[in-house]
Amino acid sequence: MTATGYVRPASIAEAVAARAAHPDWIVLCGATDLMVEAPLRPAPVGVVDVWALAELCGIAEVDGGAVRIGAATPWRDVVTSPLIAARAPILAAAAREIGALQIQARGTIGGNVGTSSPVGDSLPVLLALDATVELASPRGTRRVPYRDYPTGYRTTALAADELIVAITIPAAHPGARQLWRKVGTRRAQSISKIMAAALLRVEAGRFVEARIGLGAVANRPIRAAGAEAAIVGAPVGEATADAAAAALAAELTPITDVRSTAPYRLATVQQVVRRFVLEASSPSSPD
Amino acid sequence: MKVSLEVNGAARAVDVDPWRRLLDVLREDLRLTGTKEGCGEGECGACTVLLDGAPVNACLVAAGQCHGRKVTTVEGLAGHADGGAVLHEVQAALLACGGAQCGICTPGIAVCASWIVDAEPIGADAGARARVRELLAGNICRCTGYQLIVDAVVEAAQARRAGEGEP
């Protein structure tokens, strides 16, 4: 058996070069997904280890109110960041429900985006907050709207020579409400049955902005475009909540698997979105 | 790959595949068998160690990632004074409160709880128990002896505050 190759780059440039030099090696960061099956599968040919790579870590304000999160930033830093609490509270809420302390200390936002599981807990939030993914390769840097990033079941827009560098969350309108709900078998350390995240904004009794991101109800994290269309322009209240829930039935393709059933997933996500609309319909209260 | 790391304050070196689990490096190569394997997939916390001071599941750390880093296992929690071992407040409290049953989860709980007491402000208020429960949620006790474990962590946090001269 040949030993697994290993390199620990000291910069983004070195990491990109390592990825280009070893196209069959995996990029490893917090390892909370990749090591789970380590005893069951053949070892990877090699590892480009970006754990704790300084240029990939940290949370900072950029471009007048946007928040940029380095791809190797662990969830624990998201949970405790005052900037995230102020600008993207639903990302902190989702991060707090990812595994438990030990997973939050190692799992990273770039890993969640890169693995692109339909049950990745942060991914509906990135959809609702209209995040952008920053990718680096020998050809330069490009930014992809997160809504275009997942392309299918665990497939993404990432090219073979690209490295996920950062996630940027644009400044939300100060009047927008952010909502988040994960439904699992227990409060901590469970894989989700469904997840829903929303950004909703009301002006003069009508919804003027609606972005809804959902997880575990399709082969990838998805925006609920039909429900959003039913909400934007509609008045606050029950009728709009019902219309949004009805629209979901037409656009979601939940499956039955070990964690839940298709009918349960649909009914639950409809109820959660219904509650989001009702909650955003009432005058905001500090929570 | 030659991996040099600091384990419980001592410099150690092993020659291992970088994909080997830290858990196996500790138990098999370094014979530190206090760290237990429960589920082996990051769900149960029995293998919790501190990696550069943060609580992690040793079953989900690749050996290569440990080069140049510091690892603390349950064997490294106790300090030394006057020639004898001085238990960490958490270890003393687990003993005093009876916060252990079969024992397989205990080393992971001791390591995670030591981090909680060292790094997180756990007050004496009504929310303290809920806070400890949230922070310990990644450590599963299949004997379900959680009450006494939570008692122990709250008591250890109190002992720490008393030791620091706070009320």
Do B99 and B145 sit in the same domain of this protein? Answer: yes
Do B90 and B153 sit in the same domain of this protein? Answer: yes
Do B55 and B96 sit in the same domain of this protein? Answer: no
Do B95 and B137 sit in the same domain of this protein? Answer: yes
CB atoms within 10 A of CB A194: 27
* Rg from Cα positions in chain A: 19
- What is the nearest CA distance from B14 to chain A, expressed in angstroms? 14
Write out pLDDT tens, residues A14-49: 999 999 999 999 999 999 999 998 888 999 999 999
Q: Does the beta carbon of B41 lie under 8 angstroms from any beta carbon of chain A?
A: yes
Write out pLDDT tens, residues A102-141: 999 999 999 999 999 999 999 999 999 999 999 999 999 9
CA B158/CA A254 separation, integer angstroms: 48
- Which chain A residues contact residue B55 at CB under 8 A? 101-102, 105
* Distances A14 to A4, A48, A136, A157 between C-alpha atoms, Å: 19, 10, 11, 22
- What is the nearest CA distance from B87 to chain A, expressed in angstroms? 23
- What is the nearest CA distance from A104 to chain B, expressed in angstroms? 9
Query: For the domain that residue B140 is a member of, what is the CATH number?
Result: 1.10.150.120
CA B109/CA A1 separation, integer angstroms: 36
| Predicted pLDDT at A2 | 66
Q: Does the beta carbon of B135 lie under 8 angstroms from any beta carbon of chain A?
A: yes
Domains of chain A, with CATH numbers? 5-49 (3.30.43), 54-169 (3.30.465.10), 177-281 (3.30.390.50)
As separate numbers, helices (DSSP H) first and strands (DSSP E) second, chain A gives 10, 14
| Predicted pLDDT at A185 | 80
**Token match 């599941």: residue?**
B57
Residue % of chain A over a pLDDT of 70: 98
- What is the nearest CA distance from B72 to chain A, expressed in angstroms? 14
- What is the nearest CA distance from B78 to chain A, expressed in angstroms? 21
**Nearest of A213, A195, A188 to residue A102 by alpha carbon:** A188
Report, as an integer, the average pLDDT of A37-66.
Answer: 94
| Predicted pLDDT at A284 | 63
Show the low-confidence residues of chain B (pLDDT under 50): none
**Token match 């910069």: residue?**
A11
Phi, psi of A279 (to 5 degrees): -65, -40
CA B69/CA B7 separation, integer angstroms: 9
Q: Does the beta carbon of B121 lie under 8 angstroms from any beta carbon of chain A?
A: no
Q: Does the beta carbon of B67 lie under 8 angstroms from any beta carbon of chain A?
A: yes
| Cα B113 versus chain centre, distance | 6
Q: What is the pTM of this model?
A: 0.95
CA-nearest residue of chain A to B68?
A8
CA A96/CA A76 separation, integer angstroms: 8
Do B84 and B71 sit in the same domain of this protein? Answer: no
Compare CB distances from A38 to B21, B64, B67 and report the shortest one's residue.
B21
- Which chain A residues contact residue B115 at CB under 8 A? 101
Partnered with residue A163 across adjacent β-strands are A136
Domain end call among B27, B58, B76: B76
CA B144/CA A145 separation, integer angstroms: 45
CA A250/CA A227 separation, integer angstroms: 9
| Predicted pLDDT at A286 | 47
Q: Token pair for residue A7?
A: 């390199």
CA A59/CA A49 separation, integer angstroms: 20
- Which chain A residues contact residue B65 at CB under 8 A? 28, 31, 49, 51
Domain end call among B38, B59, B76: B76
Report, as an integer, the average pLDDT of A216-228.
Answer: 95
| Predicted pLDDT at A199 | 98
* Distances B108 to A79, A88, B36, B143 between C-alpha atoms, Å: 22, 33, 7, 14
CB atoms within 10 A of CB A23: 9
Number of independent structural domains in chain B? 2
The torsion region of residue B9 among left (phi > 0), alpha (psi -120 to 50) and beta comes to left
Do B87 and B72 sit in the same domain of this protein? Answer: no
| Predicted pLDDT at B11 | 98
Q: Does the beta carbon of A21 lie under 8 angstroms from any beta carbon of chain B?
A: no
Is-contact A76 B54, C-beta < 8 A? yes
Write out pLDDT tens, residues B35-78: 999 999 999 999 999 999 999 999 999 999 999 999 999 999 99
pLDDT tier at A287, thresholds 50, 70, 90: very low
Sign of CA dihedral A165, A70, A98, B62: positive
CA-nearest residue of chain B to A191?
B43
Report, as an integer, the average pLDDT of A83-102.
Answer: 96
Q: Does the beta carbon of A38 lie under 8 angstroms from any beta carbon of chain B?
A: yes
Q: Does the beta carbon of A6 lie under 8 angstroms from any beta carbon of chain B?
A: yes
Task: Say yes or no for a CB contact (<8 Å) between A3 and B57.
Answer: no
CA A181/CA A193 separation, integer angstroms: 11
- What is the nearest CA distance from A220 to chain B, expressed in angstroms? 23
| Predicted pLDDT at A258 | 85
| Predicted pLDDT at A109 | 98
| Predicted pLDDT at A104 | 97
Do B84 and B67 sit in the same domain of this protein? Answer: no
Do B33 and B47 sit in the same domain of this protein? Answer: yes
**Nearest of A125, A61, A48 to residue A94 by alpha carbon:** A125
Query: For the domain that residue B37 is a member of, what is the CATH number?
Result: 3.10.20.30
Q: Does the beta carbon of B145 lie under 8 angstroms from any beta carbon of chain A?
A: no
SS3 content of chain B, % helix, strand, coil (to 5): 40, 20, 40
Domain holding B31, by residue range, is 2-76
CA A188/CA B43 separation, integer angstroms: 10
Q: Which of the residue ranges A146-150, A187-191, A224-228 would you say has the lowest mean pLDDT?
A: A187-191
Do B86 and B143 sit in the same domain of this protein? Answer: yes
Do B89 and B158 sit in the same domain of this protein? Answer: yes
Compare CB distances from A47 to B64, B134, B135 and report the shortest one's residue.
B64
| Predicted pLDDT at A3 | 79
Task: Say yes or no for a CB contact (<8 Å) between B60 and A100.
Answer: no
**Token match 């005058």: residue?**
A283
Q: What angle do CA B52, B59, B1 make, to 5 degrees?
A: 70
Task: Say yes or no for a CB contact (<8 Å) between A47 and B19.
Answer: yes
Is-contact A244 A252, C-beta < 8 A? no
Task: Say yes or no for a CB contact (<8 Å) between A103 and B42.
Answer: yes
- Which chain A residues contact residue B43 at CB under 8 A? 189
Partnered with residue A195 across adjacent β-strands are A182, A215
- Mean pLDDT, chain A, whole residue set: 94
Domain end call among B30, B61, B76: B76
CA A110/CA A74 separation, integer angstroms: 9
- Residue A285 pLDDT greater than 60, yes or no: no
CA B115/CA A76 separation, integer angstroms: 14
Report, as an integer, the average pLDDT of A163-169.
Answer: 98
